[in-house]
Chains A and B, each alone.
Chain A
Amino acid sequence: MAVINATQATIRDAVASVVDPEIRVVSIEELGILRDVTVDDTGRATVTITPTYSGCPAMDVIRADVAAAARDAGASAVEVRTVLSPAWSTDLISESGKAKMTAAGIAPPEPVRATGRAVLLQIAVRCPRCGSPSTQELARFGSTACKSLWRCNECREPFDHIKAH
């Protein structure tokens, strides 16, 4: 039976490599929304995830993808739990995640400042295509809740930026 062979490590790896449905180059682990994976002796997996934004519509897809990945890796049953605390922050995105975003043309977030109201204090965002720091914000809200829309003044390309959050 597959269940018997399913080790915690393989199920955990399968869950961790589930990609974010809206930023398909980074995994949920790299994005920092995977909190915990446990597998008991009978192969029942419990996966704990946290949303990026309160109303992130990708959560339902992520839950379904996580459950499918765990089952494919041999889990006999899967429970996906959602927790809010501590609140997700873009500081939880791993360095490899940020590098993959940049490679995909999405400017990664800068570190969140401790001031709380970080919104108005935007430091320069580098163009993910040409690397120029000469960029401008076109719209504070982008194609998904976590992004804003920018343009590079050098290469003139528009790009998404993950807002520090």
Chain B
Amino acid sequence: MTESATEQPRSGVVARDDLVAYLLRLGDDALITAQRLGEWSARAPEMEEDIALSNIALDQLGAARLFLTYAGEVEGEGRDEDALAYLRQDFEFRNAQLVELSDTDFGTAIAKLLCLSAFQHPLYEALSASTDARIAGIAAKAVKESAYHLDHATMWTVRLGDGTPESHRRMADALDEVWPYTFELFESDAVTRRVAAAGVGVDPSALRDGWADTVGDVLRRATLDVPTTDWRPTGGRDGRHTESLGYLLAEMQVLHRAHPGANW
């Protein structure tokens, strides 16, 4: 589109479509994470953990709302955060598949949170210096919150991994289960390359080594092995998702779709 460049007051160096695509990835990772974590309210192993995971979910939801609101504004087609969260179908979501996976065990939830927060923390740190002031502002808040998420996931991974034979086995199983999905987080494509070149976004492949160091260090302390796998499922950034996302969206969207525009 020829006018896309002139319609970018906040970041004149990336095309509108690229910025929207990038913001949806950031927002959807956070939104789907929030929805999954919310499932642990009143279901976690201890009451403090109900509160902790709900708090982390709230942080993720806060970031998601800010990113999706911005995405809707840049897109310029009248979609607000609610339209983007509640009225898109599964193939329109751009989150990495890792965050949508069902939490089949508490260990799975922790393994996912560890892998995600070790990615989000340096990502938000880098985005705090984005040439897009709005993204920089959102990231500068989120980076402080994600430090807590990483810290919390680290604490549980060490506690479960270096705990009883049963907790060790379940934490190891959980890591094996989610590990193949971590590779997608670091995939570069045309969108990430262009937003990174403009200083608006981050090329996720540049975060891979630091992530491996962070997670590897936690797993060592937890007496857990770094899983090895050749299977690297992907497609979330293009709208291809696992079966789990449909069920998650059904629950998340049912109220809004049954009562459009409903308000408290």
Contacts and interface: CB of A to CB of B under 8 A. Distances in A.
B59 A85 contact: no
Contacts of B56: 141
Contacts of B52: 139-141
Nearest to B47: A139
Given A54-B138, A143-B51, A84 B148 contact: no
Interface centre among A56, A87, A138 (most CB of B within 10 A): A87
Interface of A: 51, 53-57, 83-88, 116-120, 138-143, 145, 149, 163, 165
Q: Which 5 A-B pairs have the closest CB atoms?
A: A55-B62, A54-B62, A84-B137, A139-B48, A141-B52
A87 B144 contact: yes
Interface of B: 48, 51-52, 54-56, 58-63, 65-66, 125, 133, 136-138, 140-142, 144-145, 147-148, 151-152, 155
Contacts, number: 76
Nearest to B144: A165
A139 B52 CA distance: 8
A87 B51 contact: no
A103 B136 CA distance: 37
Nearest to B67: A54
Contacts of B66: 54, 84
Contact of B141 (A54, A118, A120, A142): A54
Dominant secondary structure of chain A at its interface with chain B: loop
Nearest to B61: A55
B60 A141 contact: no
B138 A84 contact: yes
B59 A140 contact: no
29 contacts: A51-B62, A51-B141, A53-B58, A53-B59, A54-B63, A54-B65, A54-B142, A55-B59, A55-B60, A57-B58, A83-B137, A84-B66, A84-B138, A85-B136, A86-B140, A87-B137, A87-B140, A87-B144, A117-B151, A118-B147, A119-B148, A119-B151, A140-B148, A140-B152, A141-B56, A141-B152, A145-B58, A145-B59, A163-B148
A28 to B, nearest CB: 17
A31 to B, nearest CB: 16
Contacts of B151: 117, 119-120, 140
A56 to B, nearest CB: 7
A136 to B, nearest CB: 13
Contacts of B140: 84-87
Nearest to B128: A87
Given A54-B59, A55-B61, A56-B62, A85 B48 contact: no
